[in-house]
Amino acid sequence: MKIYVCVKQIPDPNTVVSKLDPNTKRLVRSGVSLVLDPGDESTISAAIKLRDTVGNSEVVAVSMGPASAQEAMRRALAMGVDRAILVTDPALAGSDALGTARVLAAILQKESPDLVFCSTESTDGYTGMVPGGIAEFLNLPQLTFAREINVEGAKAIIKRVTLTGYQTVECPLPAVVTIASGSFEAIYPTMKGIMSAKKKPFTQLTLADLAIDPSQVGEAGAREHVATIGKAEARAAGQIIKDDGNSAQAIADFLQRYQLL
């Protein structure tokens, strides 16, 4: 089975305080330390787990990004991904979700995947629109918010996270599956993994290789425009429950009100 994982390099959410450029209204990505999206590390782990369960399968990481994204791809390889494909092209700068989906779908089209894994959303832009776009371009069914994935015959069966529990959903392969955040503990690259990453196939493509018209992607092809950016509203003050002997009940009531209990 061929399992593809769409990944992204983002400003390190653990060390970088996100900043927006007031002119471009985009996230500042230069001059900060960049990492493979931690959400994608979890998604890669889901793919590797499935690969190792199913057997006779490979996991391929695909990404679109600047040359610096090579590091994120090496990271994916070090984690145990079998090969990596990165599309880099100056014309891609400023791509919106649609443009990104178009490029990723073009790679996948050539590869004929059985499964395409995506994180539900990236940890920087959080649009969550790329997976749906890929499914649309490839004309594949999409299963969302998976916390468990199994393959039986030619079907993908997932447990789909809901507010109150999960639904079991299935669809025929090939399919696009988005992974619910926090569902899989990220594998960490072992020393052997880090060493062997250097010897694994790593393909770098340009738009020309994918026969994509540059006017359809990047700044030129973007249909999505950020109109304004503003500060998030300050959160309302929390509720403090004083312990007068009934605090346990009060806390339980509060949690129940939000269906957390």
Partner 1 sequence: MTTTMKPTESGTAFLTTTVSESADKIFTLEQRDEEQRWIQESSATFIQREVLPLTEAIDHQEPGVLPKLVKKAGEQGLLMIDVPEEYGGAELGLLTSSLVGSELREASFSVAFGAHTTIGTLPIVFYGNEEQKQKYLPKLASGEWIAAYALTEPGVGSDAMGLTTHAKLSEDGKYYILNGTKQWISNAGFADVMIAFARIGNEKPSAFIVEAHWPGVSTGAEERKMGIKGSSTRQVYFEDTKVPVENLLGEIHKGYKIAFNILNIGRLKLGAGTVGGARAALGMAAAYTTERKAFGKFISEFGMIQKKLARVAAETYAAESEVFRTAANIENARRSAGNDTEGAFKAIEEYAIEASLAKVHGSEVLAMAVDEGVQIFGGYGFMQEYPIEKAYRDARIQRIFEGTNEINRLVASGTLFRRVLKGKLPLMSLYPAIESRVRSGQPLNNAGESIPAELRDAVNALERAKDVTIYSAMKFALKYMQALENEEEFIEYLANLLIDLYAVDSALARATQAVRRGDENSGTHVKLAQLATWLAFTRLRSNLDQMIMTNSAEGDVQAELQFVRSYVGDYLLNGVALQRELAAVVVEKQGYPL
Q: 190 or 249: whose CB is closer to partner 1?
A: 190
Q: 70 or 216: whose CB is closer to partner 1?
A: 70
Q: Which of 25, 26, 155, 192 binds partner 1 (CB under 8 A)?
A: 192
By CB under 8 A, tell whether 191 contacts partner 1.
yes
Q: 28 or 195: whose CB is closer to partner 1?
A: 195
By CB under 8 A, tell whether 75 contacts partner 1.
yes
Q: Which of 69, 76, 78, 175 binds partner 1 (CB under 8 A)?
A: 78
Q: What angle do CA 189, 190, 193 make, to 5 degrees?
A: 80
Q: What is the DSSP string of 160-206?
A: EE-SSSEEEEEEESSEEEEEPTTSSPPP---HHHHHHHTTS-EEEE-
Question: Quick one: which segment of 109-117, 176-184, 192-200, 234-242 binds partner 1 (CB under 8 A)?
Answer: 192-200
> Looking only at residues 194 through 213 of this chain, which bind partner 1 when binding is defined by CB under 8 A?
194-195
Q: 35 or 151: whose CB is closer to partner 1?
A: 35
By CB under 8 A, tell whether 188 contacts partner 1.
yes
By CB under 8 A, tell whether 190 contacts partner 1.
yes
Q: How far is the CB of 15 from partner 1 (least distance, A)?
A: 9
Q: How far is the CB of 43 from partner 1 (least distance, A)?
A: 18
Q: 71 or 219: whose CB is closer to partner 1?
A: 71
Q: Which of 8, 29, 51, 74 binds partner 1 (CB under 8 A)?
A: 74
Q: How far is the CB of 124 from partner 1 (least distance, A)?
A: 19
Q: Which of 189, 212, 217, 221 binds partner 1 (CB under 8 A)?
A: 189
Question: Quick one: which segment of 20-28, 36-44, 115-123, 185-193 binds partner 1 (CB under 8 A)?
Answer: 185-193
Q: What is the DSSP string of the chain?
A: -EEEEE--EEE-TTTPPP-B-TTT-SB--TTS-EEE-HHHHHHHHHHHHHHHHH-S-EEEEEEE--TTHHHHHHHHHHHT-SEEEEE--GGGTT--HHHHHHHHHHHHHHH--SEEEEESS-SSS----HHHHHHHHHT--EEEEEEEEEEETTEEEEEEE-SSSEEEEEEESSEEEEEPTTSSPPP---HHHHHHHTTS-EEEE-HHHHT--GGGSHHHH---------PPPPPPPPPPPP-SS-HHHHHHHHHHHTT--
By CB under 8 A, tell whether 17 contacts partner 1.
no
Residue 175 dihedral angles phi and psi, to the nearest 5°: -150, 160
Binding site for partner 1 (CB under 8 A): 71, 74-75, 78, 188-195
